[in-house]
Amino acid sequence: MTDKQILLLPGPTPVPPRVALAMARPAINHRGPEFSELLHTVTQGLKRVFKTNNDVVILTASGTGGMEAAVANLLSPGDKALVVTVGVFGERFVKIAQRFGVETEVLAFPYGQAADPAAVAERLARDKAGEIKAILVQHNETSTGVLNDIEAISKARGDHPALLVVDTISGLAAADLRVDEWGIDVAIAGSQKAFMVPPGLTMLSLSDRAWQAVEKCKNHRYYLDLKDARNYGLKGQTPHTPAVSLLYGLKEALAMLEEETLEKSFRRHACLRDMVRAGIKALGLEPLADDRVASPSVTAVKVPAGLKPADITVPLREKHGVVVAGGQGQVKDRVFRIGHLGYVNHMDVLSGLAALEEVLASLGVISVSGIGVAKALEVYQKFNA
């Protein structure tokens, strides 16, 4: 059988049959009442996941479009942003901001480490003139498998007026994020991660302070104009033709998340994270990130000496149908990444670990013993005792 795959990617994640079926509905008029109802339901559901009463807008674009929309709508050419980076997606924020003429100051932390809130506090304390207009940071850095402490970073901001812009594309619904309680001005999500929907939608929440910045912003934008999105949203529409099928999928996925509850989704993801980490460590492999900052969505695993990521990822896919991701950025040749977010359960992870063990054995790194699966199963039992 060649078409059966176990997707252990950090996005796109597997799509639940319920979501796929919901997306197969016949077309509707996106200027009609059915669409208004759909948009309203999805927007309200998203607010519960973002934990916010702020406006939430949905754009037809991948997550990067959401990052670009945040920059282009909040920051004018010449404005200064503090970009806190812990990997590739932080670096992407730098590139986007620079393309839009924003002056970037980069506070970079080594790959595999989390951002230090004290360093953010120290930098902002020195900005007596309030030149830094925004802090751009990832909640979950997908390239390294690190979860930043956004609550602590928000506290580190103190009374500084900078807007806090958080890319939670691979974090939201897998890890807790409290937009209102933590004072997040803009949070950016993506459909193909823990929302279990195919790629193509990005969802952003904006605080009142963020909207004030939008009013003043002089950067160019047309398709990604957030004010347009909000104004049309008030009429139950979107400015341009939306990805209606994906919105039907998102409505169903939000219903699934509500049935599971967010708390149980966070716990499931934490369990999968700990299963993967216990399993790979038992096989003699090392995660890039320390346990204390480990992502519940994805684990970057260091490749054993003398091997390349493809030596592992290709046989995993070709022999076992287990699809994992390669490395990115500075650790491109040093890690492969096991995704464990979205529509993934313990059996997917156990299968992935069994396949990994077989591949490592066929490469002569270990001999087959089942130890990775056994250790992961122990974790599963502890979580579900």
Ligand X SMILES: Cc1ncc(COP(=O)(O)O)c(C=O)c1O
Residues within the interface to ligand X (CB under 6 A) = 11, 62-64, 89, 138, 140, 142, 167, 169-170, 190, 199
Residue nearest to ligand X (CB): 63
Q: By C-beta, is 52 or 62 nearer to ligand X?
A: 62
142 or 154: CB nearest ligand X? 142
Task: Pick between residue 132 and residue 169 the one whose CB is nearest to ligand X.
Answer: 169
Sheet holding 103-108, edge to edge: 55-60, 201-206, 186-190, 163-167, 132-138, 80-85, 103-108
Q: What are 136's strand-pairing partners?
A: 83, 165
* Nearer Cβ to ligand X (85/138): 138
Residue (156 or 169) nearer to ligand X, CB: 169
Amino acid at 96: I
What are φ and ψ of residue 203, in 5° steps? -125, 130
DSSP for 151-170? Answer: HHHHHHHTT---EEEEE-TT
Q: Which residues contact residue 373 at a Cβ distance below 8 angstroms, ignoring those fewer than 6 apart?
A: 279, 350, 353, 354, 357
Identify which of residues 115 and 377 has a Cβ nearer to ligand X in the complex: 115
Rounded to the nearest angstrom, the gap between the alpha carbon of residue 266 and the centroid of all alpha carbons in its chain is 13
CA neighbor of 188 nearest in space, from 119, 139, 133, 126: 139
Least distance from ligand X to the Cβ atom of residue 143, Å: 8
Residues paired with residue 56 on neighbouring β-strands, in sequence order: 205
- Shortest reach from residue 31's CB to ligand X, in Å: 27
Give me the least distance between CB of 246 and ligand X, in Å please: 12
Q: How far apart are CA 274 and CA 287, in angstroms?
A: 11
> Closest separation between CB of residue 111 and ligand X, Å?
14
Which CB, 51 or 92, lies closer to ligand X? 92
Minimum separation from the CB atom of position 296 to ligand X (A): 13
Closest approach of Cβ 128 to ligand X, in Å?
A: 32
In one-letter notation, the amino acid at residue 156 is A
Is 184 buried (19+), middle (13-18) or exposed (0-12) by CB count in 10 A? buried
Q: Are 105 and 85 in contact (CB under 8 A)?
A: no
Q: How far is the CB of 190 from ligand X (least distance, A)?
A: 5
How far does Cα 117 stand from its chain's mean position? 20
